Chain A
């Protein structure tokens, strides 16, 4: 080529100059564990399903969610959503209403009649699940997905366990419960009701089961000794809540006193109000701060006119009069009697002092250990001391609530599957938690949480309609989009845009980005300006 005067070289592009050689640190895309996911007892990938919900892909969101938990409509109502307590957005304005979006997805799935796919192939193994409560149903669902034949044996006439016999209808409508259980039955799980297992070993032989998962729950009410004359009417909370499922609601009278401070105490007091009690009084021996019940439920109960006598115990009952002793907290925070007494009138006294497990079906099983009234299991696998026998839910150690039970069922299912294949699962690698200080919150705009409308107070106390209403599609979408996507790329294009060297390659929707190390100088702007902390700067090896 003939060049102009004084020109000796062809013009070239600076692309020939690989500035990547300057680098001492390189950006690396990471997926850190969002605090909500870490917190979830059922192991849901919350950030993952919210990502789909944000773009209105509700089927994808629901499918992603139900990978871990088959009950979004139930969860959205009864889970205590501790995920929201650790939500990083709570430090910015208020936590994302995860449970509201979950419920919206669950309700939508019921409405659209979305179902679970049957397993691709059968393993030929048969697993027995004892108890159709949340834990048993969760295990049955996951085992079936893995291709095992599953038979669920339930002592009651209907599935649900404590979700049916413990949680009042105003918190969990029964059509929602039935709908989500039916979906599991539709996968080919067989259910036998009114089938109380008296000896698990014999039952396994009869049904030719290769393994069993026990989740019979804790249905025996604890009693407290209260000296009482014959005329006093003393009932327990478990049987009242259970009888709510019968034809004839229990008769409790106009003045009802509930003894205890847990969520069951609140449930039964609120139920009593709905059954026509003009006064429902909770007697609890400690203070509000010490109460095991969740504060939002107490708040709802107080709004409905439930009264609470703090720092009080019941020492006697006679002919509709209760003797109450005042308590005070000692230096250790334990309640101590003061010797001051008063009288409280009550038509019915309801004891809500906790529940115990009926362990009789386990007699004669070798290697099994029971302690503190529950079956001991390996916390990593949920297997009892007897090989092939797993247990979870309220009958195993752990916090007693629906979500924990569902988590037990999922974990047990994974390890039952491994055990049936003669394998053991390696523990999952702990991922780094996506903490708030890793976020660049400048990029998130302020938006308050959408408050799900609540039923009018008047309607609430006079019937069993659901108290918490759901979100509309508009508000659910809004709520989902408040997710900060902590620690996981949500394709905001920031890294792609802010690189002064065009060294970030955009791979297109759903495929995220990669770094072109030929040109990346390692300045770190992409990591600093990543809103969600999904880029780490890693030193280059010298």
Chain B
């Protein structure tokens, strides 16, 4: 029996592995990681966004040798990280308005390009990211974002998607999933929670701009997320990364289940993980253990009205149908050889 030695103890699923060569390890497994978002921030216990932001920005810091500037939209990420006069950010970081993070990023990139040209270089070594939550990205900042894409400005925009306006009291955004209870989509009436058929899929809209790079990722798959950031930073032009970050407070979930929820979102097909270059999907992360959506929904109080007695099995079935559509549309299941 001939088999390659693989790290079957944990595969490559864990953050680190003492048996791996150092250059194959993740940024997060290193004692020397930047901790771009450092301790003492005021995010809730188990915050997925705080975790996702550190994962993504640390990876970008490594990819750029620390030559990085961040523009930040208003939202949880901004509020919990920078209550005056403290900051958790360990890189040059700029906050302007709720809706203009992409425009600020574009402006920084333009200024850097001018500085580089004056220094006799073809392009700037200092790179730019702009980041925000789903509210600041898919709703309020969408015009600026589309403009940044359309002009192909040299910015990586990272959206941390926790599916609602959590900072202001859990209101619905255009990224809130159907049937979810929020302060503005109460679990009452014949169609409780957020309506089906509303909202938008910004990764697909970004792809429609045919920008160099679009990707989705979750906080449950660190290696995948870091690889995508690194790839994005190796490119120039407008790039978009959409990171799925569960919110224990807004979703009514246990703080210890943040990563588990992100994993289930991927394994159910609710959140497809893929990457696309110049408008074409180039890679899809396959589902490892296909899981019914119910396992994901039951962990969250925002879906509690779907369960119990009598429950709303027909609504759960619609959510399952949406997940199944994703699985088919993105080819999320491994082809079984006939």
Docked-complex contact B256 and A527, CB < 8 angstroms: yes
B62 near A: Cβ within 8 Å?
no
A300 near B: Cβ within 8 Å?
no
Closest to B8 in A: A447
Closest to A474 in B: B5
Chain A contacts for B131, CB-based, 8 A? none
Chain B contacts for A9, CB-based, 8 A? 84-85
Give the size of the chain B interface in residues (CB under 8 angstroms).
Answer: 51
Chain A contacts for B16, CB-based, 8 A? 491-494, 496-497
Say yes or no: A13-B87 contact (C-beta < 8 A), given A19-B39, A492-B16, A496-B16. Answer: yes
Within 8 A of A (CB), among B53-108: 54, 81, 84-88
Q: Which of A313-321, A325-333, A478-486 forms contacts with chain B?
A: A478-486
Docked-complex contact A500 and B50, CB < 8 angstroms: yes
Chain B contacts for A501, CB-based, 8 A? 39, 41, 43, 50
A516 near B: Cβ within 8 Å?
yes
Docked-complex contact A529 and B40, CB < 8 angstroms: no
A17-29 to B contact mask, C-beta < 8 Å, 1/0: 1110010000000
Chain A contacts for B40, CB-based, 8 A? 13-19, 519
B122 near A: Cβ within 8 Å?
no
Say yes or no: A493-B28 contact (C-beta < 8 A), given A11-B85, A13-B38, A445-B13. Answer: yes
Chain A contacts for B5, CB-based, 8 A? 474, 477-478, 481
Docked-complex contact B255 and A523, CB < 8 angstroms: yes
Q: Which of B144-152, B166-174, B209-217, B257-265 forms contacts with chain A?
A: B257-265
Docked-complex contact A451 and B222, CB < 8 angstroms: no
CA distance A14 to B36 in the complex (A): 12
Closest to A522 in B: B45
CA distance A478 to B1 in the complex (A): 12
Chain B contacts for A17, CB-based, 8 A? 40-42, 86
B208 near A: Cβ within 8 Å?
no
Docked-complex contact B38 and A443, CB < 8 angstroms: no
Chain B contacts for A493, CB-based, 8 A? 14-17, 25-26, 28-29
B3 near A: Cβ within 8 Å?
yes
Chain B contacts for A521, CB-based, 8 A? 45-46
Docked-complex contact B38 and A14, CB < 8 angstroms: yes
Give the contact-size bracket for chain A: 35 or more
CA distance A478 to B86 in the complex (A): 50
Docked-complex contact B31 and A523, CB < 8 angstroms: no
Docked-complex contact B19 and A54, CB < 8 angstroms: yes
Closest to B89 in A: A14
Docked-complex contact B86 and A14, CB < 8 angstroms: yes
Chain A min CB distance to B244 (Å) = 15
Which of A13, A474, A500, A508 is the one whose CB lies under 8 Å from B31?
A508
CA distance A327 to B10 in the complex (A): 52
Docked-complex contact A497 and B256, CB < 8 angstroms: no
Which of B1, B17, B35, B50 is the one whose CB lies under 8 Å from A451?
B1
Docked-complex contact B18 and A525, CB < 8 angstroms: no
Chain A min CB distance to B319 (Å) = 22
Chain B contacts for A11, CB-based, 8 A? 85-87
A444 near B: Cβ within 8 Å?
yes
> Lowest 9 A-B CB distances belong to which pairs?
A493-B16, A497-B15, A524-B256, A445-B11, A14-B40, A523-B46, A9-B85, A447-B8, A523-B45
Interface contacts beyond A15-B39, A481-B19, A502-B39: sample of 6 additional A-B pairs, CB < 8 Å, sorted by A = A12-B87, A13-B87, A500-B47, A501-B50, A502-B38, A519-B39
- 6 A-B pairs with CB atoms under 8 Å apart are A54-B9, A54-B19, A445-B11, A490-B9, A493-B29, A528-B256
